C-alpha cells in the first residue's frame, strides 16, 4: 500500500486530516511533528497562518478521525490511562516562553565511535545508581554519591557528543530493578531534551543527577506497595511520600547540591497544581523540575512497571500532547517531541510495504525518515539478516529519477513508516540489531549485495 498525497489550500484543511507536508520547512512553523493529525480548530488556524497550501495523506486521513489524540490512541494500556486521569480542563497559560539555544551542541562523534564507550559507561551508571539506592538509608552514601555525580557528568558528555548512542543503551534488558532502570532512562531523556533546548553543561549535569536520584525515597517504601497495580486512596497517599522521603535522605547526604535536590523535590509537580507533594503551579516549578516531570511521565508510560504491553512511543507522545498546558508546560512538551522525534532510536516500526524495521539512527533534518534496519518481510517472517535502509536517502534517489523524467511520481513506491509498534509486538532483539547496524559494512551498496533480496533490493534501489 503506497502513500497517496494531495496538495490542498490551507483554508481547506479540516479536523481529522493527516498533514504530511507543508509549503515551507517544518522548523519555520510551531508544529512539533513532521506529519500529524489535525485534531482541533486551533491547529487548523495555525496552518492557515503559516502556510498557503499543505499536503494531505489521503490514506491515513481518508476515514474521519475523531478530533482528539486521546481517541486516536484509545488502545493505551491501563497504566497510561491512570497516569492521565488527573488532567484538568483548565489550561495554564501564564508560564513564560522557553528560551531555546538551537544547535548549540553539534554531533561530533558517530554512533559507531561513541557506542562502545557509552556501553561501559552505561554499566557504570547502573552500578552507581544501585549503590546509592542501597547506601542512602544507611548513612554511608558519600562515596556512592560521588560515583553517581561522576557518572552523570560522563553521561552528559556522551549524549552531547552523539545522542543516539546512549538512547540505544536505554533499551538494554538487565536484571536491575525497575526503579534503577527507570531512573537511568529518565536521565537520558532529560539530557536529550536539555541538549535540544541548549542548556549549559553544568545545568545538564544537575538535571541528570537529579533524575538519577529522583526515586531514592522509594527504597524506604514496602516493595508490595511499589508493585501494586491498584492502590487505595490511603495507599496512594503513602506512595506519594516517596518524594518527601527522598528529599529528606538527600538533604542529610554530603555532596548533593540544593539544585539537584530541587529536581527531586519537584519532578512530580504539575503546572496546573495537581501534582505532589506541594501542589506547586506554573513557574513556581523550576524549569529543571518541569523537564523532569515530562521525561518521568514519558518513561513511565513506555516502560511501565509490571505491564506486559507498554505504550508505543507515538501513543506516549499523544498522551503528553493531550496533557500540554494542563499537566505539563505546553511549549516544553512540543520541544520534547521535537527532541526525541516521533520514532525514537530503538523503536519497532511497520513500513507501508508491510515490512517490520527497527529505527537505528535519527535523521535530525527529516524526523519521519530515519535510518532503519528491516528485520521482517511483509508476511512478518524474520529475515536471515537485517537490511539497512536510509529512508531519507532512499527518497532522495527516487526523487532524482522523478525529476529526470525516468519515472512518474505515481509509479514510485515511496517508503514510509505506517505505524510504530508496541514494544514486544514481535520477538525482536533490538540491541542485537543495533550491534549489527554498528558493525555493518561501510558501503551500503556492498551490504545490499551481501544481503541480496530481490524484492527489497528492487524496492529500495
The CATH code of the domain that includes 306 is 1.10.3210.10
Asked if residue 83 is part of any domain, the answer here is no
The reply to whether 229 and 266 lie within a common domain is yes
157 and 199, same domain (yes or no): yes
Note whether residue 454 is domain-resident.
yes
Cα 119 to the center of its chain, rounded Å: 20
Domain final residue pick, 14, 40, 67: 67
Q: Average pLDDT in the 170-174 region?
A: 48
Q: 321 or 296, which is more confident? A: 296
> 67, 86, 103 — which closes off a domain?
67
Q: What is the CA radius of gyration of the chain?
A: 23
Per the domain annotation, does 101 fall within a domain?
no
Question: Hunting for cell 482541533 — which residue is that?
Answer: 40
Handedness of CA 451, 455, 458, 461 (dihedral sign): negative
Domain membership of residue 76 (yes or no) is: no
Residues 285 and 323 placed together within one structural domain of the fold: yes
Torsion of CA 11, 16, 17, 21, to 10 degrees: 90
- State whether 28 and 124 are in the same domain: no
Both 352 and 333 in a single domain?
no
pLDDT range class, residue 52, cuts 50, 70, 90: confident
Tell me the mean pLDDT in the region 386-414: 90
Domain ends where: 340, 364, 396? Answer: 340
Identity of the highest mean pLDDT range in 60-74, 165-179, 279-293, 395-409: 279-293
Query: Are both 290 and 418 inside the same structural domain?
Result: no
Residues 6+ apart with CB under 8 A from 215: 179, 182, 183, 242, 246
Domain span holding position 410: 348-460
Q: How many CB atoms lie within 10 A of CB 225?
A: 14
For residue 45, the model assigns a pLDDT of 78
- Is 396 found in the same domain as 308? no
Q: d(Cα 170, Cα 167) in Å, to the nearest integer?
A: 5
Are 200 and 242 contained in the same domain?
A: yes
- Residue 421: what pLDDT? 87
Query: Model confidence at 440, in pLDDT bands (50, 70, 90)?
Result: low
Task: Judge whether 229 lies within some domain.
Answer: yes
> Does residue 73 form part of some domain?
no
pLDDT at 169: 55
Residues 37, 170 within the same domain: no
Residues 290 and 429 in one domain: no
Specify if 408 maps to a domain: yes
Clarify whether residues 186 and 311 are in a common domain: yes
| Cα gap 392→267, rounded to integer Å | 37
Is 330's pLDDT higher than 50? Answer: yes
Q: How far apart are CA 5 and CA 236, in angstroms?
A: 49
What are the E-state strand segments in 236-380? 348-351, 356-361, 371-376
> Is 391 found in the same domain as 352?
yes
pTM above 0.75, yes or no: no
In a domain, 75, yes or no: no
Structurally, the chain folds into a number of domains equal to: 3
Q: Is the pLDDT of residue 373 over 90?
A: yes
Amino acid at each position: 500500500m503506497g502513500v497517496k498525497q494531495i496538495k490542498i489550500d490551507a483554508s481547506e484543511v479540516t479536523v481529522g486530516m493527516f498533514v504530511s507536508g507543508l509549503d515551507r520547512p517544518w522548523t519555520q512553523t510551531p508544529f512539533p511533528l513532521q506529519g500529524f493529525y489535525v485534531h482541533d480548530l486551533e491547529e487548523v488556524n495555525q496552518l492557515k497562518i503559516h502556510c498557503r497550501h499543505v499536503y494531505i495523506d489521503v490514506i491515513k486521513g481518508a476515514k474521519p478521525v475523531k478530533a482528539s489524540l486521546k481517541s486516536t490512541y484509545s488502545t493505551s494500556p491501563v497504566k497510561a490511562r491512570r497516569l492521565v486521569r488527573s488532567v484538568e480542563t483548565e489550561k495554564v497559560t501564564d508560564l513564560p516562553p522557553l528560551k531555546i539555544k538551537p544547535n548549540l551542541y553539534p554531533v561530533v562523534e558517530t554512533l559507531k565511535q561513541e557506542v562502545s564507550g557509552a556501553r561501559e559507561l552505561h554499566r557504570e551508571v547502573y552500578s552507581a545508581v544501585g549503590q546509592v539506592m542501597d547506601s542512602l538509608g544507611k548513612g554511608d552514601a558519600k562515596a556512592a554519591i560521588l560515583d553517581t555525580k561522576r557518572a552523570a557528568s560522563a553521561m552528559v558528555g556522551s549524549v552531547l557528543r552523539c545522542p543516539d548512542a546512549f538512547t540505544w543503551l536505554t533499551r538494554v534488558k538487565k536484571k536491575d530493578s525497575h526503579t534503577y532502570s527507570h531512573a537511568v532512562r529518565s536521565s537520558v531523556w532529560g539530557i536529550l531534551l536539555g541538549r535540544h533546548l541548549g542548556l549549559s553543561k553544568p545545568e545538564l549535569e544537575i538535571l541528570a543527577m537529579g533524575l538519577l536520584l529522583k526515586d531514592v525515597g522509594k527504597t524506604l517504601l514496602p516493595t508490595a506497595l511499589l508493585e501494586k497495580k491498584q492502590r487505595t486512596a490511603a495507599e496512594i497517599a503513602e506512595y506519594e511520600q516517596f518524594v518527601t522521603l527522598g528529599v529528606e535522605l538527600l538533604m542529610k547526604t554530603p555532596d548533593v547540591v540544593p539544585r539537584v535536590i530541587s529536581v527531586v523535590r519537584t519532578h512530580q509537580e504539575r503546572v496546573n497544581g495537581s501534582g505532589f507533594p506541594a501542589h506547586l503551579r506554573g513557574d513556581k516549578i523550576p524549569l529543571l523540575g518541569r523537564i523532569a516531570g515530562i521525561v518521568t511521565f514519558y518513561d513511565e508510560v513506555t516502560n511501565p512497571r509490571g505491564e506486559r504491553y507498554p505504550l508505543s512511543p507515538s501513543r506516549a507522545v499523544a498522551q503528553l500532547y493531550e496533557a500540554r498546558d494542563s499537566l505539563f508546560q505546553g511549549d516544553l512538551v512540543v520541544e520534547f517531541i521535537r527532541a526525541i522525534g516521533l520514532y525514537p532510536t530503538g523503536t519497532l516500526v511497520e513500513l507501508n510495504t508491510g515490512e517490520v524495521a527497527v529505527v537505528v539512527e535519527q535523521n535530525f533534518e527529516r524526523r519521519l525518515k530515519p535510518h532503519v534496519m528491516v528485520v521482517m518481510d511483509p508476511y512478518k517472517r524474520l529475515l536471515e539478516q537485517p537490511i539497512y535502509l536510509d529512508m531519507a536517502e532512499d527518497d532522495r534517489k527516487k526523487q532524482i529519477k522523478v525529476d529526470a523524467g525516468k519515472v512518474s511520481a505515481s509509479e514510485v513506491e515511496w517508503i514510509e513508516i505506517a505505524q510504530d509498534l508496541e514494544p514486544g509486538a514481535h520477538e525482536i532483539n533490538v540491541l542485537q540489531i543495533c550491534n549489527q547496524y554498528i558493525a555493518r559494512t561501510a558501503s551500503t551498496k556492498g551490504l545490499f549485495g551481501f544481503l541480496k533480496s530481490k524484492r527489497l533490493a528492487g524496492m529500495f534501489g
